[in-house]
């Protein structure tokens, strides 16, 4: 089972990237395979996205829209050996414990870490008018640093810059190639 986890500190463009992927198909179905887990599935792309993405102005989408207690349900979903490749981003599931569960069920796993210069990140926070505290942002930086410094995960991690539209196209191309999406 192919799985890709997209991570990065807040405002590195994870959600924006996901919306670009979602735009690639018009047959997304919102499903609820477990009590606390919402997923989106596209037959056209043969792709499952964990989380909720809604067309509103809320800057927090994906797994960030799920319950804080979603992880056990997400693990159950993984253990059912769903046939579609899986993509996800967001704070609820991008953690060492969930990654350990992925490694138990997937032989084709990638962690994609998005990066952007601090001035770009700062401007994105302003543009989206979020109220994330410095303490929260620093906690996420630490979480990402802990995952990327794990020797066990080194072979699974790829870093990509995502600070402008040109870099976003490269990231999108990388994700499409990984999942063999031809559109």
With cut-offs at 50, 70 and 90, classify the pLDDT of residue 32: very high
What tens digit of pLDDT does each residue of 39-82 get?
999 999 999 999 989 876 666 688 878 889 999 999 999 998 66
Rounded to two decimals, the pTM is 0.92
Mean pLDDT of the chain: 91
Q: What is the 3-state secondary structure (H, E, C) of 166-181?
A: HHHHHHHHHHHHHCCC
Secondary structure letter of residue 123 according to DSSP: H
Euclidean distance between CA atoms 5 and 50, whole angstroms: 10
Structural domains of the chain, with CATH: 2-178 (3.40.50.300)
Strands (DSSP E) found in the chain: 2-7, 29-34, 37-42, 47-50, 86-89, 108-115, 157-161
pLDDT (0 to 100) of residue 183: 62
What is the arithmetic mean of pLDDT over 6-24?
Answer: 92
pLDDT (0 to 100) of residue 58: 67
SS3 35: coil
């Amino acid at each position: 089972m192919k799985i890709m986890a997209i991570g990065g500190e807040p405002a590195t463009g994870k959600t924006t990237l996901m919306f670009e992927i979602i735009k690639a198909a018009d047959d997304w179905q919102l499903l609820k395979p477990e009590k606390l887990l919402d997923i989106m599935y596209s037959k056209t792309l043969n792709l499952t996205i964990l989380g909720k993405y809604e067309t509103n102005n809320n800057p927090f989408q994906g797994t960030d829209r799920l319950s804080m207690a979603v992880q056990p349900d997400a693990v159950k979903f993984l253990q059912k050996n769903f046939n579609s490749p899986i993509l996800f981003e967001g704070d609820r599931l991008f953690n060492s414990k969930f990654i350990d569960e992925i490694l138990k069920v997937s032989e084709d796993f990638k962690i994609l870490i998005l990066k952007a210069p601090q001035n770009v990140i700062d401007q994105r926070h302003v543009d989206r008018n979020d109220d994330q505290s410095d303490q929260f942002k620093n906690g996420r930086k630490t979480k990402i640093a802990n995952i990327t410094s794990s020797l066990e995960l080194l072979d699974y991690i790829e870093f990509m810059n995502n600070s402008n539209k040109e870099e976003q196209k490269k990231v999108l191309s990388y994700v499409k190639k990984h999942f063999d999406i031809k559109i």
